[in-house]
Amino acid sequence: MSTVELTKENFDEVVSGNDFVLIDFWAEWCGPCKQFGPVFERSSDKHDDLVFAKVDTEAQPELASAFEIQSIPTLMIVRDNIAVFAQPGALPEAALEDVIGQARGLDMDEVRASIAEAQQAEQAQKK
């Protein structure tokens, strides 16, 4: 499956309309981004049930800013509208496959419960 170019116009539609989205934040001038690009593409071919998307941080500075991207490439995985992984750096192919496997294995009900618990604790601290 080819990757989807994310923009501020289509971001919400793509991310909320899919259960599992891998996002590569990159820029044309970035050497490590160019190294990671083919790894990301090969992985997209292996996992045609997932959405692979790219954000050009130069063309989409608002998205990079909204996700507080400090260095590129940064890989983010969003499952059920929840960012479950975000890490800067070009991953080797085996590491990317491992991360995808771990993200697939997450119990999203547990993740949501953990987030709700953390939010409740935060609210209690504010009182």
The whole-angstrom separation of Cα 83 and Cα 65 is 15
Across 42-127, the runs of DSSP E, i.e. the strands, are 51-56, 74-79, 82-88
The whole-angstrom separation of Cα 85 and Cα 22 is 9
Residue 77's beta-bridge partner residues? 22, 85
Closest CA to 55 of 8, 122, 99: 8
Q: Active-site residue among 6, 30, 53, 91?
A: 30
26 tagged catalytic: no
Q: Active-site residue among 21, 22, 33, 39?
A: 33
The DSSP bridge pattern shows strands 82-88 and 74-79 to be antiparallel
- Cβ–Cβ < 8 Å for 51, 103: no
33 tagged catalytic: yes
The residues annotated with a catalytic role in the active site are: 30, 33
